[in-house]
Amino acid sequence: MSEQPHPEGGMTAAQAKRVEFAIIGLCIAALAMIFQPWSLTLFGVGAGLVVLGGLAFNLVPLCREGVKASSLVKAAGVVLAILLVVAAIAMGAAKLYGVYLQAQ
């Protein structure tokens, strides 16, 4: 049984489910990496994936039939931009805190 394209050019129901399950799978894999007791490297990767998965989870409402893939990509770009801005602010604040502590 082949998948018929959506008449308006958006994702089919099966494609939307696949994207949704991929996001959920990423979150589950990240949690598994965090709670495994063997490797600190896997813990670090899992910690990063938890942040990425948490932000990617904002895309789940767009995972429905008829939504264009380009809309999903644009939303993912906005989520990635937010991640980069927050990371830059956090690193800047840490740097300023270091300068403050050295001045004490």
Which pLDDT value is given to residue 55?
87
Model-level pTM?
0.75
Which pLDDT value is given to residue 89?
97
Question: What tens-digit pLDDT sequence spans the chain (104 residues)?
Answer: 556 666 677 888 899 999 999 999 999 999 999 999 999 999 999 999 998 898 889 899 998 998 998 999 999 999 889 889 999 999 999 999 999 999 99
Using CA atoms, how far apart are residues 39 and 48, in angstroms rounded to an integer? 15
Which pLDDT value is given to residue 6?
63
